[in-house]
Each structure stands twice: as structure tokens, then as C-alpha cells.
Amino acid sequence: MNLLILSCGTRNKVVQYFREAFGKEGRVICTDCSPYAPALYEADAYYIVPRITEPGYLGILYDICKKESITGVLSLIDPELSLIAAHKNQFAELGVTVIGSDYALCERSLNKWELYCWMREHGYPCVKTYALWEDFDSALNQGEIAFPVFVKPMKGSASIQIAKAQDRETAAFLFSHGEEMIIQEYMTGQEIGSDVYIDLVSKEVVSIFTKKKLVMRAGETDKAISFFDANLNSQITQFVRENGFVGQIDIDLFEQDGVYYFSEVNPRFGGGYPHAYACGVDHMTLIKNNLLGIANPVRTAPYPQNQVMMKYCEIMLLDAQEPKKETPI
Ligand SMILES: Nc1ncnc2c1ncn2[C@@H]1O[C@H](COP(=O)(O)OP(=O)(O)O)[C@@H](O)[C@H]1O
Ligand SMILES: [Mg+2]
């Protein structure tokens, strides 16, 4: 049982947790396109690979899988989720399980407009969203939406190009100066993040950790506090089941006037996952069990509430003269 973590970047903690869970039973191999991705150096072995858009990229991954006898693969970046999901069968031929949701679900999660349409059709409370200026304008005229509003890219991530607009002129400027933008009602409620694991064997939601976000920084949760609400958990479970997600997912919600509004889904480990792990919510072991063919029971043990996660920076030194392993084989 060996795991391949793709595009590991700065997610050192995720790599450390996997190594801890796997112990002597399996190896953790990482890739990144940059030798300056610090998480590479936490792994049992690493490979510097081309960018995911380069021709031949997948072939290199398949070679690594063969060479390292990989049994499971996951990616930590959004644009790569659909790519590996689309090649699930090719990985399976090599005995490798893609730890992630199906292609269509990865695409839906990447596209905030598509996800909104799905949520509206399926009756989930969600943030009012417009993808066409004319639709937004007529909603404004009919009093369906009012300023301030929130403008962001339809397929954005890491909070890039997000902005609040107080008036029509600013909203029009932001909307026309980005590619494929959407306009939303501005949410003032409490932001919530949840780390969810859906068992790859039983397909059941086996673990949910929820936290209230206290401070955001550079698109990531910087400080958050753990809490538990059985009502929220059952809404999350239904949402996840109806969509059909599997593996690790990260869901963002807003709580406003007593209602939980679903906002966005990242079908991968979110940047705030270390909070869950530090509270004893170990999804790495769940993945390990699944790779061994073992279904995990639904987690019933409570995790501690009111635990505040505070992120801080660390550094790593790399000898730039030491030869790097380029591509494998
Ligand atoms: N409609 C909204 N109203 C108020 N704040 C929002 C809204 N949508 C997003 N945000 C803020 O912007 C951040 C990033 O938006 P999000 O939709 O999560 O995109 P990303 O994919 O960049 O994480 C959120 O964490 C939240 O703080
Ligand atoms: Mg987000």
C-alpha cells in the first residue's frame, strides 16, 4: 500500500499525517512541478514533474505508479482533480485507486455557477447568484437583490479576484474586467468550513468535522473554532449523498439567520484540514483502511468543540546545489 500525493506544494502537514498513518505499512510519494515545494521533502520519495498541462504529464504519473507500486493517488490542487478523475480507469489498470470524486462532480465543484444551478434545482439553501449581467440587472430592478454584492470568478480558487461592490458602477467594472465572472448577494453571516470523508468502500459519509472561520488570509482559513451541530451534519450528509461525492471533500457554508447556505465545494483536502486532524479527526487512517479494502465505520466519537486553530509559518532550507531528481525512470 503506497500513496502518491500530486502537487503537494506547501501542504507539509498533509504529507506528515499520511506518513504517520501509514507507518511501516506503506510509503508516501510526492510530486510537484517545482523543486521549491517544501512538502516534497517530507515524503519517502519525491519526483519533480512537468506542469499538469504539459503533454506527457499523465504518462509520467503512470511511470511513477509502476516504479513505486502505488495503490492510491490524490491531488491537492483544484485543476488536477478533474484530470485524474477522467483517467480513473487508466490508473485502475495499474492497480491504483483515484482517491476522489468522479469527473463530472469535480467539474461541477470547480464551476461555482454550475454548482449553484445544481443546488437551486435540488432545493438546497444557497447564495443567490447571477452569471449574466442582464439577469443581475433585472433582479436589481425587481428588488430581488440589493447592494452590496460580491463579484468573483466562476471558476476561481484561493480568493483570487474576489471583491465586494457597493454600487452598480463598481459591480459592472468588476464583472467586465474578469473572465467568466459571477455576481452574488453579499453574505454577512458566519462562514463555516467542513472536512468530510466519504468511504471509498461503503460510499457512506463516515466523518464530518465543522469549524467556524474566524480569520481568513490569502484565501485560506487562518483561525477557526471547532463546533458540532447535528442538524448541520445531517444537511451535509444529504448534500454529499445526493451529489455522489466520494473520498475527501471540503465544503464552505454560511450561517445566516439560522439557515445554513451551501457556498462551495473543493473535492480534496482543504487548506484548513490540519484543524480537524489536531482535534483527532484522522482521515489519513480512513484512506489507509480503504486502500487495504477495509470499510470504515461511521465515526461516532465526538471531537472536542471550541478548539481554536491558529496557523503560523515555518521554514525549510534546501541546498540548491544538491542534485534534484528530475523526472523518474
Ligand atoms: N457571496 C459572498 N458574500 C460574502 N463573502 C463571500 C461571498 N462569496 C465568497 N465570499 C468570501 O470570499 C472567500 C472566497 O470565496 P469562495 O467562493 O470560497 O472562493 P474560492 O474558490 O476562491 O475559495 C470566502 O471564503 C468568503 O470569505
Ligand atoms: Mg472557498
The model's pLDDT over 213-246, given as tens digits with 9 standing for 90+, comes to: 999 988 889 999 999 999 999 999 999 999 999 9
Overall average pLDDT of the 119-133 stretch: 97
Task: In whole angstroms, give the CA distance from residue 28 to residue 43.
Answer: 6
How close is the Cα of 98 to the center of ligand 2, in Å?
Answer: 23
Task: In whole angstroms, give the CA distance from residue 307 to residue 315.
Answer: 25
Give the residue, by CA position, lying nearest to ligand 1 atom 5: 187
Asked if the structure places residue 48 within a domain, the reply is yes
- Which residues sit opposite 98 in a β-bridge? 73
Q: Which of 144, 167, 185 is the last residue of a domain?
A: 185
Q: Which of 185, 214, 234 is the last residue of a domain?
A: 185
Task: In whole angstroms, give the CA distance from residue 307 to residue 123.
Answer: 33
Statement: residue 167 has pLDDT above 60 = yes
Classify 23 in phi/psi space as left (phi over 0), alpha (psi -120 to 50) or beta: left
The model's pLDDT over 3-49, given as tens digits with 9 standing for 90+, comes to: 999 999 999 999 999 999 999 999 999 999 999 999 999 999 999 99
Asked if the structure places residue 112 within a domain, the reply is no
Statement: residue 125 has pLDDT above 60 = yes
Classify the C-alpha dihedral 221-226-231-236 as positive or negative.
positive
Task: In whole angstroms, give the CA distance from residue 163 to residue 170.
Answer: 10
Domain range spanning residue 177? Answer: 128-185
pLDDT score, position 220: 84
- Same domain flag for 177 and 226: no
- Same domain flag for 167 and 233: no
Ligand 1 pocket test: which of 154, 162, 164, 250 has the largest number of ligand atoms within 8 Å of its C-beta?
162
- Give the ligand with the smallest distance to the CA of 162: 1
Overall average pLDDT of the 147-163 stretch: 94
- Same domain flag for 162 and 241: no
Ligand 1 pocket test: which of 147, 174, 264 has the largest number of ligand atoms within 8 Å of its C-beta?
264
Q: How many CB atoms lie within 10 A of CB 319?
A: 6
- Same domain flag for 48 and 61: yes
The atom of ligand 1 lying closest to the CA of 159 is 22
- Same domain flag for 21 and 77: yes
- Please report, for the domain that includes residue 78, its CATH number: 3.40.50.20
- Give the ligand with the smallest distance to the CA of 112: 1
Task: In whole angstroms, give the CA distance from residue 127 to residue 182.
Answer: 11
Statement: residue 328 has pLDDT above 60 = no
Contacts 24+ apart (CB under 8 A), 40-46: 40/8, 41/316, 41/318, 42/12, 42/15, 42/16, 43/5, 43/8, 43/15, 43/19, 44/19, 46/8, 46/325
Identify residues whose C-beta is under 5 A from ligand 2, the ion: 252
- Same domain flag for 161 and 272: no
Overall average pLDDT of the 199-222 stretch: 94
Give the residue, by CA position, lying nearest to ligand 1 atom 26: 191
Asked if the structure places residue 49 within a domain, the reply is yes
- Please report, for the domain that includes residue 145, its CATH number: 3.30.1490.20
pLDDT score, position 324: 60
Asked if the structure places residue 113 within a domain, the reply is no
Q: Which of 50, 72, 105 is the last residue of a domain?
A: 105
CA angle 11, 13, 14 (to 5 degrees): 70
- Same domain flag for 63 and 163: no
In the chain, what percentage of residues exceed pLDDT 90? 93
- Please report, for the domain that includes residue 298, its CATH number: 3.30.470.20
Residues with CB under 6 A from ligand 1: 127, 150, 152, 156-159, 162, 184, 186-187, 191, 216, 219, 252, 263-264
How close is the Cα of 82 to the center of ligand 2, in Å?
Answer: 18
pLDDT score, position 329: 47
Give the residue, by CA position, lying nearest to ligand 1 atom 12: 159
How close is the Cα of 60 to the center of ligand 2, in Å?
Answer: 31
- Same domain flag for 136 and 211: no
Give the residue, by CA position, lying nearest to ligand 1 atom 8: 150
Is residue 267 helix, strand or coil? coil
pLDDT score, position 190: 98
Asked if the structure places residue 111 within a domain, the reply is no
pTM over 0.85: yes
Overall average pLDDT of the 191-200 stretch: 98
Statement: residue 1 has pLDDT above 80 = yes
How close is the Cα of 159 to the center of ligand 1, in Å?
Answer: 7
Give the residue, by CA position, lying nearest to ligand 1 atom 16: 159
Asked if the structure places residue 88 within a domain, the reply is yes
Statement: residue 321 has pLDDT above 90 = no
Task: In whole angstroms, give the CA distance from residue 120 to residue 113.
Answer: 10
Burial letters for 277-297: b for 16+ Cβ neighbours within 10 Å, e otherwise?
Answer: bebebbbbebbbbbbeeeebe
Contact 252, 239 (CB under 8 A): no
pLDDT score, position 326: 52
The model's pLDDT over 251-293, given as tens digits with 9 standing for 90+, comes to: 999 999 999 999 999 999 999 999 999 999 999 999 999 999 9
- Same domain flag for 138 and 215: no
Overall average pLDDT of the 68-76 stretch: 98
pLDDT score, position 218: 82
Task: In whole angstroms, give the CA distance from residue 110 to residue 115.
Answer: 8
How close is the Cα of 304 to the center of ligand 2, in Å?
Answer: 24
Q: Which of 112, 116, 264 is nearest to 181 (CA)?
A: 112
Asked if the structure places residue 320 within a domain, the reply is no
How close is the Cα of 255 to the center of ligand 1, in Å?
Answer: 13
Contact 285, 91 (CB under 8 A): no
pLDDT score, position 217: 87
Which residue carries 439567520 as its cell? 257
Q: How many CB atoms lie within 10 A of CB 29?
A: 26
pLDDT score, position 219: 80
- Same domain flag for 24 and 60: yes
How close is the Cα of 329 to the center of ligand 2, in Å?
Answer: 37
Number of domains in the chain: 3
- Same domain flag for 142 and 206: no
- Same domain flag for 92 and 138: no
pLDDT score, position 325: 56
Distances (CA, A) of 281 to 54, 217, 247, 274, 312: 36, 23, 15, 9, 20
Asked if the structure places residue 145 within a domain, the reply is yes
How close is the Cα of 94 to the center of ligand 2, in Å?
Answer: 33
